[in-house]
Amino acid sequence: MQEAESPSINEIRIRVEALEKEIQLLRGIFDAIQDPLFILGLKQEFLKANSQGIELLGYSWEELQKMDFLDVLALDDLSGVREVFAESNEDRDIRVKVRVVSRGGEKIPVELSGVARQGAWLVILKDLREGIRVEEERAKIRKEFAEKLKERDQYARELQAMKDLYKERLKEIEKMRGEAVLLSHTDDLTGMYNHRFFIQQLTLEVDRQKRYPTALSLLMIDIDYFKDYNDTNGHLAGDQVLKAIAMLIQRAVRQTDIVARYGGEEFAAILINAGREGAREIAERVRRTVARMRFPNESSQPNGDLTVSVGVATFASPSTVTDLIREADNALYRAKRAGRNRVEG
C-alpha cells in the first residue's frame, strides 16, 4: 500500500494561519458581546470571561480563575442558583434574576441567562442597575405627579372653602351694613363692637324704620357694683370680668343681634325684628346667663354675686336714636333702683 504524502511546509503554514485567523475571529466575537459573558465548567468554575464580565465583577482574570461562579453570588441567592444549575440539563436554557457581588462589595442586580453546551456553561449577565434606576426614577416621577395632583385637589378644596367662606362673609357684610372694616369698629379689650360702630348701626336701623317699619328694640346692660369689684380685686381682675361678661352676652343674644361695649362696664345690644316681649325674653336670658356664672371673689360683692341689670326699649314711631337710648337708659336706672340683677322696660 502506498503511503500518504506528508503535507508540505507551505501547506502546514497555510493551515496554521487559517486556524489563527479563526481563533482571532472567535476572540473578537467573544469580546464584542456587550453584556458580561462567562464560560463556566460544569462545576461552575470560570473558564473564560470577556472584558465586560471582568469589569462588572471587578476581579482580575487571574483572580477569577481561582474562583467559581457561586463565589460571586449574594448569599441570599446562592441556594436558588445552585438548584437551577443542578436541575438544568444539556441544551436547556436557564433565566433567573440574581445579585452578584463585586470585588468592592457592591450587590449588583443582574438577569442571568445560561445554557449548557458540550460540557460547559455559557452564561450572560444583563446588568439591571440602569433599568432599576430608570424604574425608580419613573416611580419617583409618578409619586411626585400624584403628590402634585393631591396638592392641586387640596388647593381646589381650599379654594372652594375660601369661596364658600367669602360668600358667607359677604352675607354678613350686607347684613351688618359695612362690616368690611370690622377691626376699626371693635373694642380692644372685649373684642365687641365699639361705641362708634354701635351708634352708626343704631342710626341705620332707626332710619330704616321710616321706609320699612319692623320691630326694633334696644338693650342697655350694666354690671352691678362693678366699681366695688374693681376696687377690691384690682383692674386686671376687672378686665377679665369685662371680657367674660362680654362673651356671655354674645352667647345669650341671637346671631343677628348687634352687641357693643357702650362704655366702661356698660354694654348695648340692638335687637332687629324683636318687639318688646321678645326683647324682654332676650334681656332676661342675658341676666340669667351672667347670674349663673361663677366669678372669682364675687362673694365680696355687696349683693354677694356678680350680676347685671338690663334696661329694655322698643322703637315707637316717631322716635330718634337719642329717644331710644334715653328710654333704654331710664329703664336701666329703674332696674338699678329696684335692687339690681333685674330687667326693666
CATH classification of the domain holding 291: 3.30.70.270
Residue type, 166: Y
Q: Is the pLDDT of residue 329 over 90?
A: yes
Output the nine-digit C-alpha cell for 210.
Answer: 321710616
Among 72-81, 125-134, 155-164, the range scoring the smallest mean pLDDT is 155-164
Q: How far apart are the first and last CA of the chain?
A: 155
Question: Are 42 and 118 within one domain?
Answer: yes
Instruction: Pick the closest to residue 218 from 231, 233, 202, 234 (CA basis).
Output: 202
Task: Give 10: exposed, middle or buried? Use CB within 10 Å, 0-12, 13-18, 19+.
Answer: exposed
Quickly tell me which residue has 347670674 as its cell.
291
Q: For a pLDDT cut of 70, what percent of the chain falls above it?
A: 86
pLDDT band at 319 (very low <50, low <70, confident <90, very high): confident
pLDDT digits (tens, 9 = 90+) for 53-107: 999 999 999 999 999 999 999 998 888 888 878 776 556 678 889 999 999 999 9
Question: Are 74 and 204 within one domain?
Answer: no
Question: Are 186 and 200 within one domain?
Answer: yes
Question: Are 138 and 212 within one domain?
Answer: no
Q: Looking at mean pLDDT, say which of 22-26, 84-88, 154-158 comes out highest.
A: 154-158
Give the Cα separation of 38 and 48 in Å (integer): 6
Q: Is the pLDDT of residue 202 over 90?
A: yes
Give the Cα separation of 182 and 193 in Å (integer): 8
pLDDT band at 120 (very low <50, low <70, confident <90, very high): confident
318 cis-preceded (ω within 30 degrees of 0): yes
pTM higher than the cut 0.85: no
Active-site annotation holder among 265, 277, 284, 327: 265
Average pLDDT, the chain: 85
Question: Is 135 among the catalytic positions?
Answer: no
Work out how many domains the chain is built from and give that number.
3
Give the Cα separation of 32 and 26 in Å (integer): 10
Q: Is residue 3 one of the residues assigned to a domain? A: no
Question: Are 80 and 190 within one domain?
Answer: no
Residue-level pLDDT at 271: 96
Question: Are 337 and 210 within one domain?
Answer: yes
Residue-level pLDDT at 1: 47
Output the nine-digit C-alpha cell for 300.
Answer: 365680696
Q: Is residue 1 one of the residues assigned to a domain? A: no
Residue-level pLDDT at 25: 47
Question: Are 186 and 304 within one domain?
Answer: yes
Q: Is the pLDDT of residue 109 over 80?
A: yes
Question: Are 23 and 105 within one domain?
Answer: yes
Alpha-carbon dihedral sign for residues 229, 312, 208, 165: positive
Domain that holds residue 144: 129-175
Q: Is residue 134 one of the residues assigned to a domain? A: yes
Residue-level pLDDT at 23: 46
Question: Are 29 and 111 within one domain?
Answer: yes
Across the range 5-30, mean pLDDT stands at 57
Whether 282 and 271 have beta carbons less than 8 Å apart is answered as yes
User: Domain ends where: 127, 145, 163?
Assistant: 127
Question: Are 211 and 153 within one domain?
Answer: no
Q: Is residue 4 one of the residues assigned to a domain? A: no
Strand partners, 41: 120
Q: Is the pLDDT of residue 173 over 70?
A: no
Output the nine-digit C-alpha cell for 235.
Answer: 383692674
Q: Is residue 155 one of the residues assigned to a domain? A: yes
Q: Is residue 298 one of the residues assigned to a domain? A: yes
Alpha-carbon dihedral sign for residues 184, 186, 188, 194: positive
Q: Is residue 221 one of the residues assigned to a domain? A: yes
Q: Is residue 311 one of the residues assigned to a domain? A: yes
Residues, the chain: 345
Among 98-102, 176-180, 237-241, 303-307, the range scoring the smallest mean pLDDT is 176-180
CATH classification of the domain holding 65: 3.30.450.20
Question: Are 266 and 169 within one domain?
Answer: no
Q: Is the pLDDT of residue 180 over 90?
A: no
pLDDT digits (tens, 9 = 90+) for 208-245: 887 888 899 999 999 999 999 999 999 999 999 999 99
Question: Are 141 and 50 within one domain?
Answer: no
